[in-house]
Amino acid sequence: LRERGSRLYVVTGDPVEELPKLWTEFGITHMTHEADETLEPYAVQRDANVKDAAKKAGVSVIDFASETLRPLGNREGGYVANVGGFAKNIPTTMSTFQKLLSKIDKGNIPLPLDSPTRENFPKQAVNKSLDMKYRPLEHPCDIPWPRGYSRSEIGPVWDRKAANKKTSPIVKGGESLALAQLHKTVTARPDWSASFEKPKTSCTEVASPSTTVLSPYLTIGCISPRTAWHAVSDATAKASSKTSRSKPPVSLHGQLLWRDFNNLIAHSANAQAPGSWGQMRNNVYCRDIPWSTDPEL
């Protein structure tokens, strides 16, 4: 962003309280953000409150659904939009999900958008005071406490002293590192990428991982799933003709499909019973088992 004449500013706190301050400080008229299509209750309420605040401040808000290969909900090109517009109609098996995907634009996954250039950003004076004011967090204990939960609900938490001794990040974030990882594990290994099969991997191996290790980057948006999808396509096309091509759901493309499918199930579960995803009770995709309880266990 700096190379393109912009900046990344990091602000912590309640978005409903902090964003109006920023709109005033920077003279904001338009704001874009990633839509949370899994419909988690906290995110739904947060986004609604932000939109209300933006309306009062005269700020136009536009959200984009780019966390998955295709939008989950009732949007153009979305999964729900192609099953009648009702979340309860989504496919519940991978095979039927693949059939649905194949019907949307013949199964083609749109290309990722080009990165913005310096010409896309308005010219602005460098403000070093803002660079120092809105810096990224420098320690794990600086991360804001999850809103809506008490410490007793979360469980044991490290203090700063303990964290200094125990934290050793396996993966460091950022788009540059994500793209480098994509090139290292996919683009530079066409035969491996073309023949990849998920059951033949070790998900717990850290020193010498047998997967791409792209999940952390995909999870927090450092890299687009469409970028990963087309990188796999390009690598597979360059693989030797003697290399056996794996197919979804076990191939690398299949892993991205599983990701979309899981998010779609979460979207549907929460659409039918808000907050039910991630738990058994009221979750339409879970069998309600009357588990016994023993306080001594």
Q: Per DSSP, which regions of the chain are E strands?
A: 30-34, 60-64
- Going by C-alpha positions, the residue among 108, 77, 67, 72 that lies closest to residue 90 is 72
**Could you report the per-residue pLDDT of 105-120, keeping only the tens digit for each?**
999 999 998 888 888 8
One-letter identity of residue 110? P
CB 82 within 8 Å of CB 100: yes
Q: Examine residue 249 and say whether the peptide bond preceding it is cis (omega within 30 degrees of 0).
A: yes
Judge whether residue 203 has pLDDT over 80.
no
Looking at per-residue confidence, does 292 or 79 come out higher?
Answer: 79
Give 232's Cβ-side CA count (13 Å radius): 24
**Could you report the per-residue pLDDT of 121-172, keeping only the tens digit for each?**
877 766 778 888 888 888 777 777 666 666 667 666 677 787 777 667 778 8
Q: How far apart are alpha carbons 14 and 17 in whole angstroms?
A: 5
Q: What is the pTM of this model?
A: 0.89
Decide the pairing of beta strands 60-64 and 30-34.
parallel
Give the pLDDT score at 278: 86
Q: In 3-state terms, what secondary structure has residue 34?
A: strand
Q: How far apart are alpha carbons 124 and 147 in whole angstroms?
A: 35
pLDDT band at 53 (very low <50, low <70, confident <90, very high): very high
Give the pLDDT score at 48: 95
